[in-house]
Structures are given as C-alpha cells and as structure tokens.
Amino acid sequence: MNEIQKYITANEPKIMEDLFSLIRIPSISALPEHHDDMLACAKRWAQLLLEAGVDEALVMPSKGNPIVFAQKIVDPNAKTVLVYAHYDVMPAEPLELWKSQPFEPEIRDGHIWARGTDDDKGQSFIQVKAFEYLLKNELLKNNVKFIFEGEEEIGSPSLEFFCEEHKELLKADVILVSDTSMLGAELPSLTTGLRGLAYWEIEVTGPNRDLHSGHFGGAVANPINTLCQIISKVTDADGRITVPGFYDDVEEVPQAEREMIAHIPFDEKKYKEAIGVKEVFGEKGYSTLERNSCRPSFDVCGIWGGYTGEGSKTVLPSKAYAKVSCRLVPHQDHHKISQMFADYILGIAPDTVQVKVTPMHGGQGYVCPISLPAYQAAEKGFEIAFGKKPLAVRRGGSIPIISTFEQVLGIKTVLMGFGLESDAIHSPNENFSLDIFLNGQILKFGDIVIDKCTVKKEEGVSGFTGQQDLTFQGDAAALGTCNATVAGTVEDMDANMTINVKVPALQQTVKVTFLGVKQVENPDKN
C-alpha cells in the first residue's frame, strides 16, 4: 500500500465527515429562504480550507451570495493554480422521489447519496483533499488559490463583477475546475470544449387582426405559414446554417481530437432507440458525437400562434411567434452572431408581413487545447489514477463563467470532472461513486505475476481471456494474491492486457492496463 493509500485509509472517517458537513447544509441559491444557509456553507468551506493548510481563507461579499477565497503561497516565483468550484446546489424537489433524505448523506451500493455529492461539493472536495495531502507531505511545488462561489446554479450573476474587481487577487497561470463529467467509470475523459449559446424570439405580424380563413385565406399571407418558411431557410439539406458569415470564426476540431472522438464507444443504434427516432440528422461530414459537441447548431425551441384550444376555429392569425437558438463553438462571438442572425432573418422576410427579432441571452464557448501543458499534466494524473489515458471530449452544453474567466482574467481553464451521467445531478437521488471519490489515491502494484492464458488467433490478431490468480510483489506485496479477469490481444509480439482486480484489502475494484512484450512461439497454443 503506497503512501497516498495509507493517508486515505488513516483519514477516511474524517474525510467523509468533513464532506458530509458540507452536504448537510441546504445551500440552495435559487430559493431566497436559504440565504442563511448560503452564508453558513461559505463559512464552513473557509474553515475546511484553513484546516487543509491555506495561508488565509476569506468569506468575501459580492453583489449576491458570498464568495470564498483562499490561498497558499509556497514561492512567489512559482506557477499558480486557481481552483474554482461552487457551493450552491439545485433544489431537491420533488422530495417524494428521493430514496433517502436529500441533505442527509447516506452510503449504500457503493455510492454517496445526497444533493451536492457530485455537483459540486463532492468534486471540489477531491481537489481540496489532494491539496492537503501534497502540502502535508511537502510535495506542493505550485501556489494554489481557491475561489468558491454560491451562484453557479443561477447563472453566476455576481462573479464576473467580482473578477473585474479582484483581478490581482485572482492572478494565476491556470484555472482548475472539477464540475464536469467523464464518459464512464471505465472510460475516463477530460472535457476540452464547451459550446456557447445565442437565443432569440421572432415575432411575425400579418394583418392587423385575426381574419376568417375562408374569406381571406389565399389572399393574405398567413404569419404562421410565413414564419415556418423563414425558419426553413435557416438550415440547408446538409444541416448547414445558411446565415452569411456564420462559419467565419468556427474553429475546426484538430484531427487528433477527431480521432479521439472516433474511439469513444458509441452505439448509434442504442442512441436512436433511447430517444425514439429512426434516424439521426445533422451537419454532413460529421459524426453524431461531433455534431452534438463541437459543431454549431440551430434549433426551434418553441413556436406558437393562432388558435390552439380544443376543437376547431378557422382563423387566419394576426401574429406568430418562435423561440430559436444556436449552440456556438469556441471563437464564435455570441454578440456578433446575434446581430448577424437578426439581420439575416429581416433580410429574407417577405413584404407581406412585418418581422421583429429580439435577442435574448447568450454566452461564449470555450476550448482547452490538448497541447496546453496544464492539460497534459491533468492527462497524466488521470492516467495514473484510472489506469488509462483519458479521452479528450467536447461537451454540447454551456458554462458561460468558464469563457468569462478567459475574457476577464486572461487564464485558460482545465476541466477535470469526476462525475458520471448516472450521478443524476439536478435530479432526485443525486449520487457520487465512492470508488471514484476515493480514486485520488495512486495505485502502485509493483510486479504482477501472471500465469498462462489461452490465446486464440483470429485474422492475424491473437486474443486471450481467462480467470487468473495475481500475486503482487515489491511495493504491493502486502496485498497478497487476488483473483482477476484477464483479457486482451496479442499482435505480433505486443500484448495489450486489461486486468480487473478485486483487492480485498482496499474493498474496491481496480482496473489496471498492462502493456508489454511476451515471446509466443505458437499463438494458437498457451
């Protein structure tokens, strides 16, 4: 058992209780009646940060809920990491769907169950405890600053102004955020991009009042018909957006990232079955995973007009409306796109109607280059913790504050999330895998003695699988012998082996990837 494991084992009761003390505070930013809880949670975080070893921890006022700032300066000349997180959570309703109390954490089935266990108290707690370990063992080489806000779930309305006011205080070389997810427990990933957003409401006016469709139909333009015709022109048959200049600032995904996306396990048949469609549709030349994460898109989010009640009413409506939006990719400015789209809609509108385009809200996209040294450091950390190199993936959603950090502070962000889709954030029964939460420990097994595996040759590639007893040696000798499922391939003399190990001493399942070379005289035999 290595030093990190020993530290976690020795301190696990306190680690869990400290986390639970945060979770028990119902810091719901959307509900004014929880104002006192927001302050209590901020103060508790400040206390825990001081216990972890920061030089100072402050609960600072903002235009909204308080912001927690803390820092540890080990060397004024060293690089500085700014850790961002949020301590507010979503409302827990509907309460009747919870299997346990939402603000009383409970461990069952290998998970921690409660609101905030993943989003974002559990994830941010991992970073704080990692900082604590490094500091106590004299391994911390960088300065570390923390900024925890209490308004992320309501759009971070106060944080941009706070950043503008405290640029010097927040000065750093890179921002680290643990508020995203991985593709799977056995498929670690780092988020490298988030899409931006632009949103509009379109109003089309025809005649000055509703008209009898029999008396006027065919002689006067129907605003609903016209609105549908206008919207249909925004995209072409290849799924491309037709607004002139729309793609001018679109960043093409590097080929290396496209190759990573192509290797993500994805069953399109199951995808279609899950959402009940016969076929997918999107921009020609891109896969489904590329279309919903790193390419821009246009959608009608709502459309209405005329009579929609029960029964019939033969009316030619005076007005028709639609709410439409575009998901944008990094470098597309949502302000520029908003004006560009409005001009286009007004330009293609016929003289038979009057059209009004009202911009609503928007936000910038974000991309973290995989060539960024901080990203590569995070990649190495994930590889050590999870036993395999994480995939670089872009997400289709938007977190506007990440692009705000870059614009206001001039700092890139590394998105190191530990959540899973199954964690049910924002839903009843939110949870966090206990294995993933504790996977900050680095597993070092030393040498692994493996018996023979039956190898079957198919089409030039030999594959093997079987149950094995693994004997741990060296630094891991104390773990003894454990049963494992061994599977992999042998191509030429290169073996790629995946080992699933149940380690009794740790009471958790660990996945190890072994790369090596083994002399095989006859690949059809043992």
Instruction: Match 């920061």 to its residue by tokens.
Output: 54
pLDDT, tens only, 211-238: 999 999 999 999 999 999 999 999 999 9
pLDDT digits (tens, 9 = 90+) for 390-447: 988 888 888 888 989 999 999 999 999 999 888 999 999 999 998 888 764 333 333 4
Give 32-65 pLDDT, tens digit per residue.
Answer: 999 999 999 999 999 999 999 999 999 999 999 9
Catalytic hit among 119, 120, 151, 152: 152
Handedness of CA 419, 420, 424, 430 (dihedral sign): negative
Q: Is 423 a catalytic residue?
A: no
State the DSSP code for 116.
Answer: T
Rounded CA separation 484/468 (Å): 5
Mean pLDDT of the chain: 86
Find the range with the poorest average confidence among 47-56, 144-153, 365-374, 404-413: 365-374
The encoded tokens of residue 209 equal 């009042």
The active-site residue, picked from 18, 37, 88, 290, is 88
The closest of 309, 205, 296 to 249, measured between CA atoms, is 296
Give the predicted TM-score (pTM) of the model. Answer: 0.71
Q: Which structural domains are found in the chain, ordered by start?
A: 3-179+399-437 (3.40.630.10), 196-250+296-363 (3.30.70.360), 448-517 (no CATH)
Residue 152 catalytic? yes
pLDDT on residue 457: 59
Q: Which of residues 499 and 366 earns the better pLDDT score?
A: 366
Q: Look at residues 42, 432, 359, 87 and name the one whose alpha carbon lies nearest to residue 198.
A: 359
Q: Which of 15, 406, 20, 501 is closest to 177 using CA atoms?
A: 406
99-129 pLDDT tens trace = 999 999 999 988 999 999 999 999 999 999 9
Give 164 or 481, the one with higher predicted confidence: 164
Of 221-235, 243-257, 276-290, 498-512, the one with minimum mean pLDDT is 498-512
